[in-house]
Amino acid sequence: MQSLSASTTAGVLLDLSGALILLLAFACLASKLFNRYVAYYGAQSVVLAFAAGTSAAAFHSAELWILAGLTLAIKGIAIPLAARRVLVTRLKLKRDAAMSTGLSTSLVAGGALTAFAYLVTRPALLPHGTVAAAVVPLSTAVILLGALTMVVRRHTVAQLIGWLIVENGVFLGAITLVATFPFIVEAGIFLDIVAGVLIMIVFVSGLTRELAQASAAELRELRG
């Protein structure tokens, strides 16, 4: 399969998108407001859709164009909208205080993981001068940052966003590493993500409700 050269326009644009996507993953890790998580995830997905569009234009691939459209519609618009309506607004989520480490510690860890991603993927794995050599370390770093978000944040909504960021990282790797991924598989992955988000939203709402009742019961016990 052909790999784009890093010096073409498409290569430069993909590289730039990858950097932006990494930056937005950092922004999510550093933020403390639920609204911002969703907003950063949405923005990241829009950039990802742009990257997929760039790849589609470079390879003249109709399937990649469809994927870019799906990314924009589902990850960029539908999921953030649903998460904001059903989770953030309805459950009245504002500040996320449940962290297992301090904010600065998690940012330092994020930086270390980014360096690690470069160390693992850069040297021998990828041929120099291709766009894959530039973007795959970025996408690996995004995957690790998403996983880190899931680890340091204890709130279910933050963990859900962390998983979606991991998914975005894998997708970024997929469009640069193997542009010839069969379309039916990509479509299946989209279906999985949508079903996953739906099921997770049910669990998050149910858990929040049950836990609220449990703490109310505790209060009554204390009073009586």
Partner 1 sequence: MTALAIIIVLAPLAGLGAALAGAGARTAGVISAAGAAAALGCAIAMLARLDARPPLSGLDGFLYVDSLSGFFLLTVAGVTLLAALGSVPYIAAQEDAGELSRFQVRLYFSFFSPFAALMLASLETGNLGLLFVLVEASTLASAALVGLEGRARSLEAAWKYVIISSLGVTIALAGTLFLFYSASALHPASNLALTWPYLLAHAHALAPQSLRLAFLLAVVGYGTKVGLAPMHTWLPDAHAEAPSPASAMLSAALLNTGMYAIIRFLAIAHARLGETYPRAVLLSFGFASIVIGALFMVRKGNFKRLFAYSSVEHMGIIAVALGFGGVLGLYGALLQVLNHALAKTVLFLSSGDVSLRYRTREAAKVSGLLSAVPLTGGALLLAAFAVLGSPPFGVFLSELTIVRAGFAGGSPVFPLLLLALLGVAFFAFARTITPMVTGPPPRPEGPLAQPYRDRTAVVVTAAPLILGLAALLVLGLWIPAGLDTVLRHCAAVIG
- Give the footprint of partner 1 on this chain (CB under 8 A): 1, 3, 120-121, 124-125, 132, 140, 143, 147, 150, 156, 159-160, 163, 166-167, 169-170, 173-174, 177-178, 180-182, 184-185, 188-189, 191-192, 195-196, 199-200, 203-204, 206-207, 210-211, 214
Residue nearer to partner 1 on the CB measure, 80 or 173: 173
User: Distance between terminal CA atoms of the chain?
Assistant: 71
Give the nearest distance from C-beta 67 to partner 1 in angstroms. 13
Is 15 within 8 Å of 131 (Cβ atoms)? yes
Task: Check the CA dihedral 68-144-196-183 and report its sign.
Answer: positive
CB 74 within 8 A of CB 167: no
B/e letters for 36-45, b = 16+ CB within 10 Å, e = fewer, are ebbbbbbbbb
The H-or-E segment that residue 30 falls in is helix 9-30
Quick one: tokens of 151? 């680890």
Task: State the nearest-atom distance from the C-beta of 96 to partner 1, in Å.
Answer: 16
CB of 146 to partner 1, least distance (A): 8
User: Which tokens belong to 130?
Assistant: 């291709």
Residue 123 C-beta: closest distance to partner 1, Å: 9
- Closer by beta carbon to partner 1, 17 or else 156: 156
Q: How far is the CB of 42 from partner 1 (least distance, A)?
A: 19
CA 97 to CA 99: how far, in whole Å?
Answer: 6
Nearer to partner 1, 104 or 190 (CB): 190
Task: Give the nearer residue to partner 1 in terms of CB position, either 15 or 167.
Answer: 167
Q: Which C-beta is closer to partner 1: that of 104 or that of 146?
A: 146
